[in-house]
Amino acid sequence: MNKYTNKTDKGMEAVKKIVALIIGISLILLAACGGEDTSSSGEELKELTIATDAAFAPFEFMNKGEVTGFDVDFATAVLEEAGYQASFDNVGWETMLQNVVNHKADLAVAGITITDERKETYDFSDPYFESTQLILVPEDSNISSVKDLEDKNVGVQISTTGAEAAEKIFGTNSDQIHQFDQVPLAIMSMEQGDVDAVIVDNAVAQEYIKNNPDAKIKTVEDKEAFDSEYYGFMFPKDNELTEEINQAIETVIENGTYAEIYEKWFGQTPDTSVLN
Ligand code: ARG
């Protein structure tokens, strides 16, 4: 009997030790996992959902299941500066636009051009990137300006400034304009010979050529036809976040983080004076 009791005590001791060990390990694991979500002061950072269309390299694209790109690095740095954690939600271009209106996303970042028309529906941050439209054509094409597009078919991404530029050239409901949900689909359609050209943001056109050297595609500039555009973060209208984020954008540009991210993705030093 005595022996028996003794054995049980030892057993209990062992169980207690194991339980203590498990609790200890769990606490260590919890601390390690929580590290990312916690600021230096130990507080949880509030997570903001950023809607995007990750088919727009080098600004946002999918790599091994992750949204990556210049916009991702920049927006993450800006949100962190403002005290938030960025969570990207790759929902596609048109859903992204809706999600901001419906407050399903806190903001959208996707190489989005600040336009007067969009300002009627959305708030925008200060500009963070200068862009313009370019024409992508097959290498052997003799299209050398917007004028040469007159009797041609062009591909654009729907509801973008590229689509707007095409409407200016051909008229709003022209059947020469072929609208695609994503930029890569428009370019594929040109490679298959279904459209003669694609109108798209310059850095994206250049990145496509860089990544697809065998595609036999070239860019055509038309400085007379295409103005400068400026990218901004897009918010629901009358949002108190906009001002906070603007402050953080200013800091991230001034403290050199912007230049670092720009160099990583574009291999050169940015001219930030174009943003003023
Ligand atoms: N800058 C253009 C616009 O605002 C095109 C942006 C497209 N972005 C994207 N992630 N697909 O209309």
**Quick one: average pLDDT of 184-202?**
98
Q: What is the structure's pLDDT at 29?
A: 55
Residue 258 to residue 250: CA distance in whole angstroms = 10
Lookup: tokens for 138: 């097959």
> Residue 2: is its pLDDT beyond 50?
no
> 110 C-alpha to center of ligand 1: Å?
6
State the residue for tokens 């295409």. 226
Is residue 93 in contact with ligand 1, taking CB distance under 6 Å? yes
* Per-residue pLDDT tens over the stretch 210-225: 999 999 999 999 999 9
Task: Please tell me if the domain spanning 46-129+230-271 has the same topology as the one spanning 133-227.
Answer: yes
Is residue 53 in contact with ligand 1, taking CB distance under 6 Å? yes
Q: What is the structure's pLDDT at 276?
A: 87
Q: Give me the CATH code for the 46-129+230-271 domain, please.
A: 3.40.190.10
Which atom belonging to ligand 1 lies closest to the Cα atom of 112? 4
Residue 87 to residue 276: CA distance in whole angstroms = 28
Share of the chain above pLDDT 70, in %: 86
Spatial strand order of the sheet with 46-52 comes to: 84-90, 46-52, 107-108, 234-236, 122-124
Q: In this structure, which topology does domain 133-227 adopt according to CATH?
A: D-Maltodextrin-Binding Protein; domain 2 (3.40.190)
Q: Are 260 and 74 in contact (CB under 8 A)?
A: no
Q: What is the structure's pLDDT at 111?
A: 99
> Residue 131: is its pLDDT beyond 70?
yes
Which atom belonging to ligand 1 lies closest to the Cα atom of 115? 4
- The full set of domain ranges for the chain reads 46-129+230-271, 133-227
* Per-residue pLDDT tens over the stretch 140-156: 999 999 999 999 999 99
Is residue 111 in contact with ligand 1, taking CB distance under 6 Å? yes
Single out the residue of 179, 161, 155 nearest to residue 226, CA to CA.
161
State the residue for tokens 């194991």. 18
Quick one: pLDDT band at residue 1, thresholds 50, 70, 90?
very low
Q: What is the structure's pLDDT at 17?
A: 74
Alpha-helical (H) ranges within 42-182 are 70-82, 93-101, 116-119, 161-170
Q: How far from chain centre, in Å, is Cα 53?
A: 7
Q: Tell whether the torsion through CA atoms of 179, 181, 183 and 187 is positive or negative.
A: negative
Ligand 1 pocket check: which of 50, 70, 71, 183 to mutate, most ligand atoms within 8 Å of Cβ? Answer: 183
* Per-residue pLDDT tens over the stretch 260-276: 999 999 999 999 999 98
Which atom belonging to ligand 1 lies closest to the Cα atom of 53? 10
Ligand 1 pocket check: which of 56, 62, 70 to mutate, most ligand atoms within 8 Å of Cβ? Answer: 56
Q: What is the structure's pLDDT at 260?
A: 98
Which atom belonging to ligand 1 lies closest to the Cα atom of 183? 11
Predicted structure pTM score: 0.85
Which atom belonging to ligand 1 lies closest to the Cα atom of 71? 10
Is residue 106 in contact with ligand 1, taking CB distance under 6 Å? no
Q: How far from chain centre, in Å, is Cα 34?
A: 25
Is residue 222 in contact with ligand 1, taking CB distance under 6 Å? no
